[in-house]
Copies of this chain bind each other. A is one copy, B any other.
Amino acid sequence: MTDIDDQASTQTSTGWLSPEDLELVRANVPTVYVDAVPVRVDALGNVTEVGLLLRVAADGTISRMVVSGRVLFGERVREALMRHCEKDLGPMALPRVPPNPTPFTVVEYFPNPERSGFYDPRQHAVSLAYVVPVEGECEPTQEALDLMWFPPDEAVSDEVRSQMTGGHDRLIRLALAHVGKLP
């Protein structure tokens, strides 16, 4: 989970916080996050590929990870989901945010890596995780270095898992289980 918004933020009235206030918040209450697992689907809706970004993760490593970011004050969850997808996948990705507001799982990130297996050194975040089919052309933007697509069996392979941190490898498996494609 990285969130470049946070550095750039200034206006509290629109949900942006100064770095100091964001620090205070993060030290005291859980943050609301969304995680989006981008997927390619075939004509019948079967997931054929999972998209993984290459970027600087919350722990400072360069890792493969999903789309992730916080929900701003006043923002609807699906607006946040769309905003982060567009920010990370580019304006032509055409993400299909599902009509159902229920996430496929709730990911609880803690500063203590033992707490839940999902880890964020900066904060306790409660993240609503969605599988988001994308139909358009993706070009990773802003801080992402790369976006690669993996078939389900590769996405959960030891090689790809070794490139993920913070529990994102487990999140991919939960997402694939949700769509019935866990190898």
Contact = CB atoms under 8 A, between A and B. Distances in A.
B30 A28 contact: no
B71 A126 contact: yes
A176 B21 CA distance: 38
Contacts of A174: 177, 180, 182
A147 interface: no
A115 B75 CA distance: 9
A18 to B, nearest CB: 10
A99 B25 contact: no
Interface in A80-131: 82, 96-106, 108, 110, 115-116, 124, 126, 128, 131
B73 A124 contact: yes
A103 B102 contact: yes
A108 B75 CA distance: 9
B73 A29 contact: yes
Contacts of A82: 43-45
Interface centre among A43, A47, A76 (most CB of B within 10 A): A76
A108 B12 contact: no
Interface of A: 12, 15, 17, 21, 24-25, 27-32, 39, 41, 43-47, 70-79, 82, 96-106, 108, 110, 115-116, 124, 126, 128, 131, 133, 170, 173-174, 177-180, 182
